[in-house]
């Protein structure tokens, strides 16, 4: 996209610059006086460009999209082309982590903070792992890391989400 | 300000001008007052004054007489006739009655069973008006002011809106423009307008904060400018905080000094008016004296430091949103390149000091903070009305997420907050039984997870779904946000390919038909004149397309990549046909409307017939030149790519298509209708 190589590790600066060049060239304001068809076209092309930019600038969306290009759709549960099912051991671990969170919560906010910090590190770790796998062209490994990433992200949301009520 | 401030030259050699060529106006439609400004053909923008030399028009509309009156006169009657005189109508725009949580003196009509939830004020004599119509009255006055100044009709305007305005509020503003007889070229975010007025693009690059403190609202925006593009990075604010609070605080102090413990409404009003005057004086002098007539207070000395003591805690409440906006934008104060002040309340020296210490920059103040937004809007209006003014491209974001209701009243986000616009998204819905031939899609806007916590925008009914076994029908609904952040919805059935009719019923706005009816009303002429106007518009449209195609043809030259000789020939044929039609109907627009007599050689044809004919010719011209336009667009893209091959661009667009599919394959379950 944007004439950039299909890689995850692209400097943010480069994405931004390319996006701005393109967005300026096709923005509907540039075609104000022109025919309806041209204006509609400008709106369509701009929309697609903006949608692509939204994914490119978000490292997680970008990684998930690259995995999707390799034929693995993390939003689908199809056994062959969908998200890989996590290992049973991982699921058991997630249940235990939730219990640990409940315990941490019972014993005070500093324990919860420590818990959050640890999960945050792990979330980043999984993303790094996914990016590394994409760099050596192993999309299925990247997909597994991204599934774990989603689980951990949800756990992180629970840490913050439930705290509001406390 | 001269055009030399705009250093970024755009590669588009010439824009075909609209019929109105450069007669676009900029309007700041404010809560307490409104302004119109003009910047024709690259000239420095200037605000326009009324016959008495006043630039600010109070945003107050009186329905006390037969015809509505707007401005100072209306404001003067307010105290004696509060229910029939509408002020601060902006706070009602696009909002449902149940969300109006502030006190107001108006009588709100109970919602009509058939209509939407739009608020209707009862203004006497059985008359009901919506906030949209009230705003249209204000716009009409400003439009007339500009027409008197220019001595010719105004075709279009750029109207500013707060950056945080949601779809319903923007749509309401745009509808008000249409009812006032204006083509709304663009709804422009107020902070972006202010940045344009300052010509912040003169430096080429930078990140700027726009601090906007009005009478009743506070907004903060962080903008980034680079490579000729303004991007909104973050916005925030407080919709119930403004300079009026300063007046109230000082008024309370005055009343305490006067020893009045329980002031009457009149005493209160007097103290507030004098507090306001004192506050304004203290912006430039260190002290002033106040004498109340309704309360015992004579020659009371108020110093600037006393005022500041009273208002400091209120003023400081603007700082949290500032820090949050910086954080949302992911930058530190030191990284800013400048701070712009907007709104009369920023004249207060304390505000300037607080802003300076929070953003670590001395704020820019050389443009009148009351006028700066209208001036920026005028610049953009000039660009969009086809003048040769080189301009920046404004890339805006949608301020609030857009979602749809799914099972259990949960919001499924389809376009998230701060996404760059225009943008589109698709969702595929399915049927739950063979009997189902319709679906209801409920669109909401907001950041909360439950539908009841978000703003309801519209309910759409999809009809004519073919009878198919459960889950076999696939209805793809496309949501398109345009460059004004306004939503349009289209739908089609994927199995059979039939287009669905989508009936959009805005929850708190007017339907297309209602707006059309009001536009008709506003013409205060018979139907014939309406037809004449339509015909005039058809001519303008055709003329515009002819100009655009001609200028693209000459730009393209003999480039075989853009245009084959055959194509050129068929475009030329369509152009000749268009010229002929234009010549046959050539009569000055004003005459057509004024005489409403049949025109030229087509004397036997009715206006609607001529209009249809012109439309047909225009459509044909657009159709034959469409592939050519598409190729030019691709070339524009390629120009941005410098050195990349066409295959790569096409590849990148294909990826975009794949992406749409991925979004489309996701199927939320809808509540049954």
Note whether B544 contacts A37, CB cutoff 8 Å.
Answer: no
In this predicted structure, the answer to whether residue B359 has a pLDDT above a threshold of 90 is yes
Q: Which domain holds residue A149?
A: 88-159
Residue B297: per-residue pLDDT: 92
Rg (CA), chain A: 21
Q: Does any domain span residue A164?
A: no
In this predicted structure, the answer to whether residue A93 has a pLDDT above a threshold of 90 is no
Residue-wise pLDDT tens digits, B481-519? 888 888 888 777 777 776 665 656 666 677 777 777 776
For residue B429, what is the domain's CATH number? Answer: 2.60.34.10
Same-domain check for residues B59 and B180: yes
Chain A hits for B393, Cβ within 8 Å = 23-24, 27, 29-30
Residue-wise pLDDT tens digits, B184-218? 999 998 998 998 898 876 666 789 999 999 887 89
- Other C-beta atoms lying within 10 Å of the C-beta of residue B265: 8
- At residue A81, φ and ψ (nearest 5 deg) are -110, 0
Mean pLDDT of B596-620: 67
Q: Which of B461, B494, B514 is the last residue of a domain?
A: B514
Query: Which residues of B carry out catalysis?
Result: 28, 90, 190, 212
Do the beta carbons of residue B26 and residue B158 sit within 8 Å? Answer: yes
Strand, coil or helix: B403: strand
Residue B17: per-residue pLDDT: 39
How many whole angstroms separate alpha carbon B397 and alpha carbon B399? 6
Q: Binning pLDDT at 50, 70 and 90, where does residue B38 land?
A: very high
Same-domain check for residues B277 and B373: no
Q: Is A92 exposed, middle or buried (0-12, 13-18, 19+ CB in 10 A)?
A: exposed
Same-domain check for residues B488 and B428: yes
- How many domains does chain B fold into? 4
Q: Which one, of B192, B185, B150, B581, lies nearest residue B375 by Cα? A: B192
Same-domain check for residues B35 and B181: yes
Name the token pair of B606: 């009715």
Same-domain check for residues B108 and B201: yes
For residue A96, what is the domain's CATH number? Answer: 1.20.1280
Same-domain check for residues B283 and B137: no
Note whether A43 contacts B421, CB cutoff 8 Å.
Answer: no
Q: Binning pLDDT at 50, 70 and 90, where does residue B2 land?
A: very low
Residue-wise pLDDT tens digits, B123-137? 888 889 999 999 999
Q: Does any domain span residue B139?
A: yes
Crossing angle of helices A59-69 and A109-135, rounded to 10°: 40
Q: Does any domain span residue A71?
A: no
Q: Which residue would you say has higher pLDDT here, B668 or B265?
A: B265
% of chain A surpassing 70 pLDDT: 93
Mean pLDDT of B138-159: 90
- How many domains does chain A fold into? 2
Residue-wise pLDDT tens digits, B392-433? 677 777 878 888 887 778 888 888 877 888 888 888 877 777
Q: Which residue would you say has higher pLDDT here, B78 or B367?
A: B367
Apex B421 CA angle, B416 and B424, nearest 5: 70
Residue B152: per-residue pLDDT: 82
Q: B100 CB contacts (<8 Å, ≥6 apart)?
A: B91, B92, B108, B119
Mean pLDDT of B158-179: 91
Note whether A1 contacts B655, CB cutoff 8 Å.
Answer: yes
Same-domain check for residues B328 and B446: no
How many whole angstroms separate alpha carbon B436 and alpha carbon B467? 7
Q: B628 CB contacts (<8 Å, ≥6 apart)?
A: B552, B556, B562, B563, B567, B571
Q: Does any domain span residue A73?
A: no
Same-domain check for residues B178 and B66: yes
Rg (CA), chain B: 27
Note whether B384 contacts A29, CB cutoff 8 Å.
Answer: yes
Mean pLDDT of B31-56: 90
Q: Which one, of B239, B91, B71, lies nearest residue B173 by Cα? A: B91
In this predicted structure, the answer to whether residue B578 has a pLDDT above a threshold of 50 is yes
How many whole angstroms separate alpha carbon A143 and alpha carbon B243? 54
% of chain B surpassing 90 pLDDT: 29
Chain B hits for A67, Cβ within 8 Å = none
Same-domain check for residues A93 and A35: no
Which region among A11-20, B109-118, B302-311, B322-331 has the lowest average model confidence (pLDDT)? B109-118
What sign results for the dihedral spanned by CA atoms B599, B604, B610, B616? negative
Mean pLDDT of B114-128: 82
Same-domain check for residues B54 and B84: yes
Give how far B229 is from chain A: nearest CA, Å: 7
Q: Does any domain span residue A102?
A: yes
- At residue B297, φ and ψ (nearest 5 deg) are -150, 120
Do the beta carbons of residue B539 and residue B582 sit within 8 Å? Answer: yes
Q: Does any domain span residue B126?
A: yes
In this predicted structure, the answer to whether residue A140 has a pLDDT above a threshold of 50 is yes
- On whether any CB of chain B is under 8 Å from the CB of A44, the answer is yes
Q: Which of B267, B294, B316 is the last residue of a domain?
A: B316
Same-domain check for residues B226 and B93: yes
Quote ipTM for the complex.
0.72
Residue A154: per-residue pLDDT: 86
Q: Which of B359, B381, B396 is the last residue of a domain?
A: B396
Q: Which one, of A50, A126, A139, lies nearest residue B483 by Cα? A: A50
In this predicted structure, the answer to whether residue A77 has a pLDDT above a threshold of 50 is yes
Same-domain check for residues B310 and B326: no
Residue B136: per-residue pLDDT: 96
Q: Does any domain span residue A70?
A: no
Q: Does any domain span residue B669?
A: no
Residue B388: per-residue pLDDT: 66
Q: Which residue would you say has higher pLDDT here, B301 or B590?
A: B301
> β-strands B474-481, B423-430: how paired?
antiparallel
Stretch (H or E) spanning B502:
strand B501-506
Give how far B133 is from chain A: nearest CA, Å: 27
- Other C-beta atoms lying within 10 Å of the C-beta of residue B451: 21
Which region among B146-155, B206-215, B314-323 has the lowest average model confidence (pLDDT)? B146-155
Q: Does any domain span residue B290?
A: yes
Across the A:B interface, residue pairs with CB atoms under 8 Å apart total 149
Q: B554 CB contacts (<8 Å, ≥6 apart)?
A: none
Strands of the sheet with B423-430, listed across from one edge: B423-430, B474-481, B487-493
Chain B hits for A160, Cβ within 8 Å = none
Q: Which domain holds residue B509?
A: 398-514
Chain B hits for A52, Cβ within 8 Å = 652, 655-656, 659
For residue B620, what is the domain's CATH number? Answer: 1.20.1270.10
Name the token pair of B599: 């025109």
How many whole angstroms separate alpha carbon B145 and alpha carbon B308? 39
Same-domain check for residues A93 and A146: yes
């Amino acid at each position: 996209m944007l004439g950039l190589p299909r890689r995850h590790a692209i400097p943010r600066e480069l994405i931004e610059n390319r996006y701005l060049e393109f967005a300026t060239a096709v923005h509907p304001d540039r075609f104000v006086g022109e025919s309806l068809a041209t204006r509609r076209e400008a709106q369509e092309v701009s929309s697609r460009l903006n949608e692509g930019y939204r994914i490119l600038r978000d490292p997680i969306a970008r990684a998930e999209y690259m995995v999707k290009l390799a034929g693995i759709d993390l939003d689908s549960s199809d056994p062959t082309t969908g998200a890989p099912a996590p290992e049973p051991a991982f699921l058991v671990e997630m249940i235990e982590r939730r219990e640990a969170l409940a315990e941490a919560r019972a014993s005070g906010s500093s324990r919860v903070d420590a818990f959050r910090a640890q999960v945050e590190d792990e979330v980043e770790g999984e993303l790094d792992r996914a990016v590394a796998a994409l760099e050596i062209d192993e999309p299925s490994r990247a997909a597994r890391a991204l599934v774990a990433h989603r689980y951990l992200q949800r756990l992180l949301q629970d840490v913050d989400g439930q705290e509001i009520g406390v | 300000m001269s055009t030399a401030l705009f250093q970024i030259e755009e590669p588009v050699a010439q824009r075909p001008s609209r019929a109105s060529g450069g007669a676009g106006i900029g309007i700041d439609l404010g809560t307490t007052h409104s302004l119109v400004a003009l910047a024709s053909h690259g000239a420095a923008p200037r605000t326009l004054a009324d016959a008495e030399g006043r630039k600010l028009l109070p945003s107050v509309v009186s329905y006390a007489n037969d015809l509505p009156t707007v401005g100072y006169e209306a404001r003067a009657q307010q105290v004696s006739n509060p229910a029939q005189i509408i002020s601060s109508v902006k706070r009602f725009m696009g909002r449902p009655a149940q969300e109006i949580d502030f006190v107001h003196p108006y009588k709100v009509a109970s919602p009509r069973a058939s209509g939407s939830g739009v608020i209707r004020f009862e203004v006497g004599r059985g008359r009901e008006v919506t906030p949209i119509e009230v705003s249209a009255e204000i716009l009409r006055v400003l439009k007339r002011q500009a027409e008197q100044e220019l001595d010719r009709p105004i075709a279009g305007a750029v109207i500013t809106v707060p950056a945080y305005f949601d779809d319903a509020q923007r749509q309401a503003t745009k509808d008000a423009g249409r009812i006032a007889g204006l083509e709304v070229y663009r709804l422009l975010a107020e902070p972006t307008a202010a940045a344009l007025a300052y010509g912040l693009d003169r430096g080429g690059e930078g990140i700027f904060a726009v601090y906007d403190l009005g009478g009743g609202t506070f907004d903060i925006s962080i903008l980034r400018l680079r490579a000729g593009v303004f991007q909104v990075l973050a916005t925030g604010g407080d919709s119930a905080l403004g300079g009026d609070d300063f007046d109230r605080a000082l008024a309370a102090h005055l009343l305490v000094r006067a020893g009045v413990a329980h002031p009457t409404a009149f005493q209160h009003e007097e103290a507030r008016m004098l507090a306001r005057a004192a506050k304004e004086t203290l912006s430039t002098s260190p002290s002033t004296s106040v004498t109340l007539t309704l309360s015992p207070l004579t020659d009371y000395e108020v110093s600037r430091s006393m005022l500041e003591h009273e208002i400091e805690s209120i003023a400081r409440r603007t700082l949290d949103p500032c820090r949050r906006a910086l954080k949302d934008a992911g930058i530190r104060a030191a990284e800013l390149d400048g701070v712009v002040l907007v709104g009369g309340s920023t004249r207060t020296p304390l505000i300037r000091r607080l802003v300076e210490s929070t953003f670590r920059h001395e704020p820019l103040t050389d443009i009148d903070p009351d006028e700066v937004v209208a001036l920026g809007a005028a610049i953009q209006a000039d660009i969009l009305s086809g003048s040769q003014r080189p301009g920046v491209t404004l890339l805006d974001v949608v301020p609030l997420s857009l979602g749809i209701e799914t099972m259990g009243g949960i919001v499924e986000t389809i376009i998230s907050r701060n996404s760059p616009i225009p943008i589109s998204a698709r969702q595929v819905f399915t049927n739950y039984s063979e009997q189902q031939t319709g679906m209801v899609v409920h669109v909401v806007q907001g950041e909360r997870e439950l539908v009841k916590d978000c703003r309801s925008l519209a309910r759409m009914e999809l009809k004519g779904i073919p009878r198919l076994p459960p889950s076999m029908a696939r209805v793809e609904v496309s949501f398109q946000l345009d460059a004004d952040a306004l939503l349009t919805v289209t739908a089609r059935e994927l199995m059979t390919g039939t287009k669905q009719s989508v009936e959009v019923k805005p929850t708190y706005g007017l339907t297309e038909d209602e707006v059309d009816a009001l536009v008709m009303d506003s013409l205060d002429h018979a139907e014939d004149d309406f037809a004449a106007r339509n015909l005039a518009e058809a001519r303008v449209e055709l003329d515009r397309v002819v100009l655009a195609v001609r200028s693209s043809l000459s730009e393209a030259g003999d480039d075989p990549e853009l245009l084959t000789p055959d194509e050129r020939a068929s475009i030329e044929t369509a152009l000749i046909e268009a010229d002929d039609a234009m010549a046959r109907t050539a009569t000055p627009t004003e005459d057509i409307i004024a005489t409403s007599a049949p025109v030229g050689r087509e004397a036997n044809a009715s206006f609607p017939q001529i209009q249809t004919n012109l439309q047909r010719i225009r459509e044909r011209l657009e159709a034959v030149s469409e592939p050519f336009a598409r190729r030019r667009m691709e070339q524009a893209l390629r120009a941005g790519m410098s050195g990349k091959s066409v295959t790569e661009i096409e590849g990148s667009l294909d990826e975009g298509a794949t992406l749409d599919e991925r979004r489309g394959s996701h199927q939320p379950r809808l509540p049954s209708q």
